[in-house]
Amino acid sequence: MAVESDRPLVVGRRMLGWAVEGIGEVGPGDDLAELCREPLLTHGGLAPWDVVVVTHKVVSKAEGRVRKLSGVVPSSTALAVANRVGQDPRMVEVILQESRAVIRAEPGVLVTETVQGLVCANSGVDRSNVGGGEEVTCLPLDPDASARRLRESWLEIASGGPLGVVITDTFGRPFREGAVNVAIGVAGMPAVSDHRGLSDELGYLLHASTIGTADEIAGIGELLMGKIDGIPLAVVRGFRWEGADSGAGALQRLPERDIFRR
């Protein structure tokens, strides 16, 4: 049922979501979109206005963004940072290579700005679910471009769309306990829903209401896939959006407006 509105709405205030199983192990050079095609078709299919949530780990593996720590030689800077934060110097070397700047380096904490412009722990470099701990995955070099390629491959399944694709990673948050799934790559939908200039039901004009829509969809995806179940894909159905596809960069706060960095 189509809903006409001046803002994104959940149709009938109902949303459906499910994990997509049966994808199997992904390796460098694999065609991820093709590997996921049959599981998508046999686990609920795709329809217009669906959003496919994809963990970055399988994208990174398919794109060859995997490093073997045995071949990493730590620099003097990496050795000094590793001594301060208490991490494997080889891991720290990869983290520094994947970063533009170090934001915080304290015992147990290494927060960086990544080469993609994200601010997160360890530049998104991750030892879990790869190589028994002696290999690490790095974030896709251009997650928005990765999301666009997947979307283009799956559009036909969704009868030509609209179709959203959100690539995710798990981030911690300043001032809050618990990590959450966030969008690091977005295609086919706006990452942020802007409600500024609209009036609430009592007539109050909204001045600062922007919603991180893609992050909220990413969180639903993580709940569906589970953290340790090895399921890298989920579909969220029932959301409608308006606005341009501006990529995940719209979710990044400018440094001058980021009190955490100050």
At 150, which amino acid appears?
L
Count of CA atoms in the C-beta half-sphere (13 A) of 257? 4
Q: What is the pLDDT of residue 177?
A: 87
Domain ranges of the chain: 11-63+141-253, 66-136
Burial zone of 221 (CB within 10 Å; 0-12 exposed, 13-18 middle, 19+ buried): buried
The parts of the chain modelled with pLDDT lower than 70 are 1-12, 129-133, 194-209, 228, 262
**Entry pTM:** 0.86
Write down the pLDDT at residue 127: 81
Q: Residue 257: its pLDDT value, please? A: 81
Per-residue model confidence (pLDDT) at position 211: 81
CATH 3.30.1330.100 fits 11-63+141-253, yes or no: yes
Measuring CA to CA, which residue among 256, 251, 257, 260 is closest to residue 118? 251
pLDDT in tens, 50-107: 999 999 999 999 999 999 999 999 999 999 999 999 999 999 999 999 999 999 999 9
Distance CA(92)–CA(97), nearest Å, equals 9
CATH superfamily of 66-136: CofE-like domain (3.90.1660.10)
β-strand pairing of 135-137 with 119-121: unpaired
Q: For the residues of 4-38, what is the DSSP string, one character each?
A: --SS--BGGG--EEEE--------TT--HHHHHHH
What are 22's two structure tokens?
């049966």
